[in-house]
Amino acid sequence: MEYFFKRLLRNVSVATGVLFGVAKKIDYKTLSRYMLRINEMQDLNGIIQETSLCLKDILNYRLFAFAVQDDDKVDVWIDPSIYKKSMGKIIKNDFGTRGKLKTHPLHESKEKRGNPVTFHTTDLISYVLMDGKYYAKLYILPDRRMFLYHNEIINIIVKSLGISLANLMNIKRLESAAAFDSMTNCYNRREFNRLIEHNIANAKRYQRDLSIIMFDLDHFKGVNDQFGHLVGDLVLGKVAEAIQLKIRKGDYLSRYGGEEFVLVLPDTKRTRAMELAERLKQVVCAMRVKTPEGDTVKITASF
């Protein structure tokens, strides 16, 4: 019995020594450099790629997938060595979505691989990142035995990733707020100035057509005077919404000021723009906007 306990203590001692020996091999300076780089990045793809490299370099863990949901869109980064369909099903189930996932490759896409890696869902370790601005999930497949301190290091990495994501989402929302008119949900005048400058430069450089349509709502002051500014705001929003439904995805509708709007049409000839202007005029003139009090506002516009 005494021999048994001595042997047990010796094994525990050896195991403890191995554990701390492995722990000492963690390069915390390198980990800190990764954390700084992740926090300094301002693009989501770069943040995810750097996180993938960090996990592999520090712990020899493979980042199998990362998914982030912003509004109704789910962006996914998947290790190309795995079977995407299986991973996609897991992510769709976790995020409660049936729509198509927008996938991006991780660094491993540069390597030549054979058949896709198969795995059991129980082998995956996932971490949730959420702060009200986004919902994200990190999927990891350890390539080595997982020690307790590994989880602490992963938590450091995940926390740094979460801070970077929150900062990125804040910047994205601020940029969106600065570019869009909150009343009509179309571009504001400042963003129009930037867009038109960019589109004119492209049209000149690549010898492409570019057209612009300007229009304003007739007698709009009378609408405000008769029904009030809240109804006037409602009318502006309804008109912008109706126009947006009739233009292409690559066209830009901006509120130029007051009741004035401007539409930028890349790759559009003058004749095509004139035809579109006539159709849009008919759309606006056919509109009838109901007020909260039950009145009807008839709208006309000059193009």
Is the residue at 20 inside a domain?
no
- Give the end of a domain, one of 148, 178, 208: 178
Give pLDDT tens digits for 174-198. Answer: 777 788 998 999 999 988 998 999 8
Residues 174 and 228 in one domain: no
Same domain? 51 vs 148: yes
Residue 16 lies in a domain: no
Do 298 and 224 fall within a single domain? Answer: yes
Helices (H), the chain: 2-24, 28-40, 44-59, 84-95, 148-179, 189-206, 220-227, 229-244, 270-285
> Are 232 and 88 found together in one domain?
no
pLDDT by residue (tens digit) across 245-289? 999 988 999 999 999 999 999 999 999 999 999 999 999 999 999
Burial of 194 (0-12, 13-18, 19+ CB in 10 A): exposed
- In this structure, is residue 80 part of a structural domain? yes
Looking up residue 79, the CATH number of its domain turns out to be: 3.30.450.40
Other CB atoms within 10 Å distance of the CB of residue 48: 27
Q: What is the pLDDT of residue 212?
A: 95
Reported as a single tens digit per residue, the pLDDT across 196-239 is 998 999 899 889 999 999 999 999 999 999 999 999 999 999 99
Question: 160 with 39: CB under 8 angstroms?
Answer: yes
User: Both 140 and 228 in a single domain?
Assistant: no
pLDDT of res. 148: 72
* Distance of alpha carbon 191 from alpha carbon 178, whole angstroms: 8
Tens digit of each residue's pLDDT (9 = 90 or more) over 131-165: 777 889 999 877 666 667 788 888 888 888 988 88
Determine phi and psi for 189, rounding to 5 degrees: -65, -40
Nearby residues of 230 by Cβ (< 8 Å), 6 or more positions away: 292
Beta-carbon count within 10 A of 200 CB: 13
Based on the fold, state whether residues 129 and 30 are members of the same structural domain.
Answer: yes
Q: Which residue is it, tokens 């915390």?
A: 28
> Is residue 196 domain-shared with residue 133, that is, in the same domain?
no
Residues 36 and 71 reside in one and the same domain:
yes
- 4 found inside a domain: no
Could you tell me the strand order of the sheet in which 125-130 lies?
102-105, 73-78, 61-70, 135-142, 125-130
Instruction: Judge whether 22 and 146 are in contact, CB under 8 Å.
Output: no
Looking at this protein, which amino acid is placed at residue 202?
N
Last residue of a domain, one of 157, 178, 199: 178
Domain closes at, from 153, 178, 203: 178
Mean pLDDT, the chain, as a whole number?
82
pLDDT score recorded for residue 118: 67
- DSSP three-state, residue 210: strand
Q: How far apart are CA 218 and CA 223, in angstroms?
A: 9
CATH number for the domain harbouring residue 227: 3.30.70.270
152 and 65, same domain (yes or no): yes
- Domain extent, residue 258, equals 189-302
The reply to whether 51 falls in a domain is yes
Residue 285 lies in a domain: yes
One domain, residues 160 and 225: no
User: Does residue 31 contact residue 39 with C-beta atoms inside 8 Å?
Assistant: no
Catalytic positions, written as ranges: 259
Helix/strand/coil for 296:
strand
Domain count along the chain = 2
Q: Is residue 233 part of a domain?
A: yes
Most confident of 54-58, 67-71, 148-152, 183-187: 183-187
Tell me, yes or no, whether 2 lies in a domain.
Answer: no
Residue 228 sits in the same domain as residue 156: no
Nearest CA among 184, 257, 251 for reference residue 213: 251
Q: Are 188 and 255 in contact (CB under 8 A)?
A: yes
Residues 164 and 227 in one domain: no
